[in-house]
Structure 1
Amino acid sequence: MLAPQRQAQILTDLQSSGGVRVSDLVRKLGVSDMTIRRDLEALARRGLLEKVHGGATLPVQPVSEEPGFVAKSARELQEKDSIGRAAARLVEPGATVAISAGTTTWALAKHLGTVPGLTVVTNSVPVADALSAAEASDRTVILTGGVRTPSNGLVGSVAVASLRSLHVDVVFMGVHGMDERAGLTTPNLAEADTNRAMIESGRRLVVVADHTKWGTVALARFAQVDDIDVVVSDRRLPGRAVEVLGEAAEVVLAGSEDADAGTSGADGVAEGVS
């Protein structure tokens, strides 16, 4: 097993359990103690874990930390693209949808180019740009306006007022964090208010979030897990997350071959939303 493969497995185990031991990784991966420690050191330098005595844990981020759009857009590229492609399949021609700010929702927007007759409400400049770039004369894009955040979202009173005057079929929501107890969270208070208003404008809520968002808790909660109708994530989503989310919502797990993506939940996967 090559170093990148070992390190990917270490991160998968870390996301599932929250912590790993050097001794367990030595047995599981069949390499030396020194090799594992070098892998942990390499991952720690990238900020992907924190080394502790005898192993490593997930890094603890300040609840108010808000990475910029460019920084976030470089993370989990394959997963976000697969999630965006799978989520786009839930959109029927002629639907009216709202799309929140975020890099995963941006990935979704890039897969909506072939869906005819869409009306899209968004508070994301990159999402609006991606939709406007697609060659579709029958598409309407409504940008809310507002104050721009580090994540390129438009938030605040102007955005909230715009959203409260509108009604959409389905809301596609990106999240900074998703947790069993804390719910859906963001480090930006104004963005939390804007997200609440967007959720209230829709009949259904679809959350698009890669596996790294599970267990992350930011400053402000804007929804509970029970508010979600569908979750679209990737196949590295921890089993506990699938279990918890599946009790409240349909769960779509997308992968590189997401045409046969796995699902859970009482009703399976919605073939479309409108």
Structure 2
Amino acid sequence: MADTSNLLAEQRRALILDEVRRRGGVRVNELTRQLNVSDMTIRRDLDALARAGSVEKVHGGAVSVEAARTHEPGFEAKSVLEPSAKEEIARAAAALVQPGSAIALSGGTTTFALAHRLTAVPELTVVTNSVRVADVFAEAQRDRTDGGPAATVVLTGGVRTPSDALVGPVADRSIRSLRFDLLFLGTHGLSLDAGLSTPNLAEAETNRAFIGSARRTVVVADHTKWGTVGLSTFADLTEVDTWVTDTGLPEDAATAARDRIREVLLAG
């Protein structure tokens, strides 16, 4: 792109939309360099284009409407998004866990942040389909000096996704054979119409298995997930007991969510 720093908003958004149509998607950090404007300006542009139905926002950028429902970013790409919000959510979610509990952690970067805070909770049994989460507890065990276990970890097995979650029939059978007190569940998106959704069909089925085996389901997801819809819905919002999110969630969205979800906690 040529020098575009003095473009009007409408002109800039037309260029962004052209990039989305040509490439299938764009990233915020790329657009800030190409258009020589701030991160917040690009995010406002993408918000406006999304409201108009021209694009669908995803973490870190936007994709064409056709691609949005099947786009699944990798773990590393997601890990750099909303890091402060994820830490606040992890802190608040960790306070829900009692020593000696049997809990489950799904895949995702927010559950990964939560896992780090749970290594100090004694006598936990942790069921997870996340390779990254299992590694957190394994590393904590290696670092202990008293010889006691950091936690008893059950890794489900299955087929690995781009976000380092294990899914598929092996994971589903493992999860359905177990029962746990608390499930901490990440999600690609939440919306009033679509509920909880993901671009990955196999992951959707594994998440259904998690919910079916949990006494209480706690969704851990930052405010940017609200309004995002993936290819496959795996739960209605009414199936969620608690949503732990951050204070970036708009007031009207929090009000709408509380009509369906038993408890919405704004961390931080």
- 8 Å Cα contact 2:119/2:150 also seen in 1: no
The equivalent residue for 1:226 is: 238
Relative distance call for 1:229 and 1:115 in structure 2 (3 A) is same
Say whether the 8 Å CA contact 2:73–2:163 is kept in structure 1.
yes
1:157 is aligned to: 169
Q: Residues 185 and 216 of structure 1: is their aligned pair in 2 closer, same or farther, counting only changes over 3 Å?
A: same
Flag the 1:49–1:230 CA change in 2: closer, same or farther, 3 A. same
| Distance in 2 (alpha carbons) for counterparts of 1:47 and 1:160 | 40
Task: For 2:55 and 2:176, locate their aligned partners in 1 and report how far apart those are by CA, in whole Å.
Answer: 41
**8 Å contact 1:51–1:57 — kept in the other structure?**
no
Does residue 1:115 correspond to 2:125, yes or no?
Answer: no
Which residue number in structure 2 is paired with residue 181 of structure 1? 193
Give, in whole Å, the separation in 2 of the partners of 1:92 and 1:157: 30
SS at match of 2:126: strand
**In the comparison of the two structures, how many residue pairs are matched?**
216
State which of 236, 247, 250 in structure 1 corresponds to 2:263: 250
Task: Find the aligned partners of 1:188 and 1:47 in 2 and give their Cα distance.
Answer: 28
Task: Kindly provide the CA deviation profile for residues 154-175 of structure 1, in whole angstroms up to 9, marking residues without a partner as x.
Answer: 0000000000100001110000
Q: Which amino acid aligns with 1:99?
A: L
Match of 1:92 in 2: 98
Give the % identical residues: 52
Superposition deviation, residue 43 in structure 1: 4.5
Q: Distance in 2 between matches of 1:41 and 1:149?
A: 29
Q: Identify the match of residue 125 of structure 1 among 113, 121, 131.
A: 131
Quote the offset at 1:244 in angstroms: 2.1
SS of 2:119's partner is coil
Q: Which runs of 4+ in 1 moved over 3 A?
A: 37-44, 55-61
Question: Which AA in structure 2 matches 1:227?
Answer: E
Q: Give SS of 2:184's match.
A: strand
Q: Tell me, which stretches of 5 or more residues in structure 2 are unaligned? A: 1-34
Question: Alignment RMSD, CA only?
Answer: 2.4
Q: Provide TM-score, normalisation by structure 1.
A: 0.73
| Structure 2 Cα separation of the partners of residues 223 and 252 of structure 1 | 19
- Counterpart of 1:77, as a letter, is P
SS at match of 1:133: helix
Deviations 1:215-265, CA, capped at 9 Å, x for gaps = 00000000010001011000001212211222332111112xxxxxxxxxx
Contact map agreement 1:211 1:237 (CA 8 A) in 2: yes
- Gapped regions of structure 1 (runs ≥ 5): 1-36, 256-274
AA at the equivalent of 2:245: S
Which residue does 2:21 correspond to in 1? none
How many angstroms does 1:93 deviate by?
Answer: 0.4
Rounded to whole Å, the distance in 2 between the matches of 1:216 and 1:40 is 23
